[in-house]
Amino acid sequence: MKIFMKASGRVLISLAIAVTVAVFGATPAGAESPSVGTKLELRSLPAVDLGDSIHVYARLLDESGKPVAKEEVVLYTSFTFMSTSSGPIEIGRATTDAAGVADIEYLPTRGGSTEVRAEFLGNTKYKSSQAVGTFVARGGQQIYGVQVGITVPFLSKWLLGGLLIIIWTLYLFVVTRVLRIVQDAAE
């Protein structure tokens, strides 16, 4: 019975701690949680031609509508590789200016509609916020191409061909010498 009472007492204490943290937050004593709410706005995103960069302008405002300067805004997009979505990836970040605007330049690598998410992560003074927008890149499916082979800038194909001929000639010379040595030893 004593063991049961000790175990149930520990469970009750753990439950009380969990409820206290959930209700009052896990903020350490003396530390304050962010008190000022923020709003992040994305300016309308224009359509661009594939291969041209786009400037994404995110404006960070506090809860009273005043611009928030010198804070970092991060831009994300979702990424798909071989028909599998890998979730959001960071494509840029910038600091807001005096007008609360962060200018993030991005070069789209595939055509079609792309959704971007701008996010202000918050800090000790300001709460976090985010905004979502979409732009269209006109053009083909991708702007990069796979290049096959090895490129050595200072070697031309003629120099490389001549070098290969010299190497194979030396190889054949050595092979014929070894075969003659073997024949002479057999006699």
CB neighbours (10 Å) of residue 149? 4
Statement to judge: residues 130 and 180 lie in one domain: no
Instruction: Mark whether 51 and 74 lie in a shared domain.
Output: yes
Average pLDDT over residues 152-156: 68
72, 59 Cβ separation under 8 angstroms: no
Categorize the per-residue pLDDT at 82 as very low, low, confident or very high, splitting at 50, 70 and 90. Answer: low
Beta bridge partners of 39: 61
End-to-end CA distance of the chain: 100
Confidence of residue 107 (pLDDT cuts 50, 70, 90): confident
Domain CATH for 122: 2.60.40.10
- On whether both 164 and 78 belong to a single domain, the answer is no
pTM of the predicted model as reported, rounded to 2 decimal places: 0.57
- Do 56 and 80 belong to one domain? yes
On the 0-12 / 13-18 / 19+ scale of CB atoms within 10 A, 164 is: exposed
- Asked whether 127 and 40 are in contact (CB, 8 A), the reply is no
Between 108 and 103, where is the model more confident?
103
Q: How far apart are CA 160 and CA 179, in angstroms?
A: 29
In a domain, 18, yes or no: no
45 and 137, same domain (yes or no): yes
* Residue 109 sits in the same domain as residue 182: no
Residues 114-126 have pLDDT tens digits of: 889 999 999 999 9
Which candidate, 92, 91, 89, 73, places its Cα nearest to that of 81?
89
pLDDT confidence tier of residue 9, bands split at 50, 70 and 90? low
Parent domain of 47: 38-142
Among all chains, which residue has been given the structure tokens 């970092």? Answer: 72
For residue 172, pLDDT over 80 is answered with: yes
Token pair listed for 102:
């962060």
Q: What is the DSSP string of 121-133?
A: ---SSB--EEEEE
Backbone torsions φ then ψ of 149, nearest 5 degrees: 105, 180
| 132 and 167 together in one domain | no
- Tell me, what's the pLDDT at 170? 96
Q: Bigger pLDDT: 31 or 110?
A: 110
Q: Are residues 114 and 162 in the same domain?
A: no
Q: Indicate if 129 and 161 belong to the same structural domain.
A: no
Check residues 12 and 161 and name the one with the higher pLDDT. Answer: 161
What percentage of the chain has pLDDT greater than the value 90? Answer: 43
- From CA 76, how far away is CA 86, in angstroms rounded? 12
Q: What is the pLDDT of residues 13-40, one digit of tens each?
A: 665 565 555 555 555 544 567 788 999 9
